[in-house]
Structure 1
Amino acid sequence: MSQNHEARAARTGPWVFDTREIGHRAGSSRAYTRRAPAPAGFGLDMIRVPEGEPVELDLLAESVVEGVLVSGTATAKLTGECARCLDPISDEVEVEVRELFAYPDSATDTSTDEDEVGRIVDELIDLEPVVRDAMLLSLPSSPLCSPDCQGLCSGCGAKWAELAPEHTHETIDPRWAALRERFGGTEEEN
C-alpha cells in the first residue's frame, strides 16, 4: 500500500467527506445525512455529548469558486450534571454549521490566514473539528436542571428543594463563641 493511499485511508470515516462526489464545478452540490459517533472531548466539564453517542449530520456541500461550502445542522444528545444541585441532566443540542473549505492553491491562500479557512486535503474534508467547535460554543458553562434550581445547602449539602422552609444552620462568629460559652447562649435560647 502506498504512503499516500495509507494517509487517505487513515482519514476516512463518518466525519470525513470526499469532495470528488461533489465535483469542482461551481454550483454543483450534494446533500448528506449521516450519523457520526462523538469522539472524546465533545463537551465541557459539566455537560457533554457522551463519547460514541451518534451526532446526526444534515448537511449540504456546495462547490464554490474557492472551495466547498458546507452548511446545515448537527444534532446530538447531551448528558451532564446540574451546576447547582449536581443532579444528572440530559438534553439535546442542535447547532448550525457553515464553513468554507478552500481548495489547495486557491486565492484564499493569499487572502486569509491559515487558520481562518478550513482546507481541503487530498480531496477530503474533516468536519469533526468544525462540529465540535460549534457544539462547544453553544453549550452552557453552568447547566441547570431547571432555571429555578436552588442548589445545595452549604451547611449540610442537602438539596434546598427537599428541605423545610425554616431550615438553617446557626453559625457563630468564632470571636463571640467564648462569650456564648461563658454566659450560656442568647436570650432567645434561654
Structure 2
Amino acid sequence: MSDDKTFLDTRNPWVVDTRELGRRAGLSRTLRRTVPVSTVLGVPDVIVVPEGSEIDLDLLLESVVEGVLVTGTATARTTGECSRCLDPIEDEVEIELTELFAYPGSTTDVTTDEDEVSRLVDDRLDLEPIVRDALVLALPQVPLCSEDCPGLCQECGRKWADLEPGHGHETIDPRWAALVERLGDSPAGGPDQEA
C-alpha cells in the first residue's frame, strides 16, 4: 500500500529496511551509520549543524509487538557564535533517541493520529525527521565559548578578555549632565566655586 508520496527509497542513507527483523518480537540488530546533513539544522547566525557535515548514528533496532523500537545516539558537529563575545565556536552535540515506528494496522497505528507516532512504510523507516527534530531541540539557545566568558564592554564593544584591568568609561547621570557642562571640570561643582 505504498504510493509516490509515502515511498521510502532505500538508497536514501536515512532510510532503513527492517525486513530482516521479521515482525517477530524480540529480534534486534545494531545500526551504525554516518549520514550527510543536506540542509542547515538549527538557528543560523547563532548555532547550527552545518550543511555538508555528517551525523553519526549508533542505534539498536528492536522488533516489538507494535512495530520497531529505535534507541541509541546521534552525534553531530556544531558551529556558531558565542552569545557574549561573538567569537566563532565549534562543538559537538550528542542526543539520545527512543522512537517507536508502528507497523501498519497495529493497534498503535490505528489508535494514534498521524503526527503522534512514526510509522513503517513497506517495512522501511525514515530516521531523518526524528534525528533532525531531536538535534535542533538539543542545541543550546545561548551558546557560549566558555561558561565564564565575560562578553563585551557595553560602552566600546571590545572583548573584556582583551581589555586591561580596571577598564571603564566615565558615565555621567543624564540628570546632572547640564550642570557638569556648565561648571566644567570642577569636582562636584563645589570647593573652588565662590559663594
TM-score, length-normalised on structure 2?
0.86
Structure number with greater Rg is 2
What are the equivalent positions in structure 2 for 1:32-71 lying under 5 Å apart? 32-45=31-44, 46-71=46-71
Task: Tell me what 2:126 maps to.
Answer: 126
Aligned residue identity for 2:42: G
Instruction: Give me the whole-angstrom Cα distance separating, in 2, the residues matched to 1:182 and 1:4.
Output: 82
Alpha-carbon contact 2:153-2:159 (below 8 Å) kept: yes
Task: Tell me what 1:14 maps to.
Answer: 13
Task: Tell me what 2:25 maps to.
Answer: 26
SS in structure 1 at match of 2:29: strand
Instruction: Give me the whole-angstrom Cα distance separating, in 1, the residues matched to 2:20 and 2:157.
Output: 57
Aligned residue identity for 1:40: T
| CA offsets 1:116-136 (integer angstroms, 9 cap, x no match) | 211112322111111112222
Instruction: Give me the whole-angstrom Cα distance separating, in 1, the residues matched to 2:187 and 2:72.
Output: 69
Segments of structure 1 that go 5 or more residues without pairing to the other structure are: none
Alpha-carbon contact 2:109-2:119 (below 8 Å) kept: no
1:187 aligns with 2:183: no
Aligned residue identity for 1:31: T
Aligned residue identity for 2:31: Y
Percent of aligned positions that are identical = 61
Aligned residue identity for 2:37: A
Task: Tell me what 1:139 maps to.
Answer: 139
Task: Tell me what 1:81 maps to.
Answer: 81
Moved more, 125-134 or 167-176: 167-176
TM-score, length-normalised on structure 1?
0.88
Alpha-carbon contact 2:67-2:101 (below 8 Å) kept: yes
Instruction: Give me the whole-angstrom Cα distance separating, in 1, the residues matched to 2:52 and 2:20.
Output: 27
Instruction: Give me the whole-angstrom Cα distance separating, in 1, the residues matched to 2:136 and 2:97.
Output: 12
Segments of structure 2 that go 5 or more residues without pairing to the other structure are: none
How far is the alpha carbon of 1:6 from its aligned partner?
8.9
Cα distance change, pair 186–23 in 1 and its aligned pair in 2 (3 A) = farther
How far is the alpha carbon of 1:5 from its aligned partner?
7.0
Cα distance change, pair 185–11 in 1 and its aligned pair in 2 (3 A) = farther
How far is the alpha carbon of 1:48 from its aligned partner?
1.6
| CA offsets 1:82-120 (integer angstroms, 9 cap, x no match) | 110011111111111110000111101344333221111
Instruction: Give me the whole-angstrom Cα distance separating, in 2, the residues matched to 1:124 and 1:47.
Output: 32
Instruction: Give me the whole-angstrom Cα distance separating, in 1, the residues matched to 2:5 and 2:84.
Output: 49
Instruction: Give me the whole-angstrom Cα distance separating, in 2, the residues matched to 1:66 and 1:116.
Output: 14
How far is the alpha carbon of 1:177 from its aligned partner?
2.0
Cα distance change, pair 5–141 in 1 and its aligned pair in 2 (3 A) = closer
Aligned residue identity for 2:126: D
Cα distance change, pair 188–180 in 1 and its aligned pair in 2 (3 A) = closer
Alpha-carbon contact 2:8-2:15 (below 8 Å) kept: no
Aligned residue identity for 1:42: L
| RMSD of aligned alpha carbons | 2.4
| CA offsets 1:114-172 (integer angstroms, 9 cap, x no match) | 32211112322111111112222222110111111000011111000111121112222
Instruction: Give me the whole-angstrom Cα distance separating, in 1, the residues matched to 2:53 and 2:145.
Output: 21
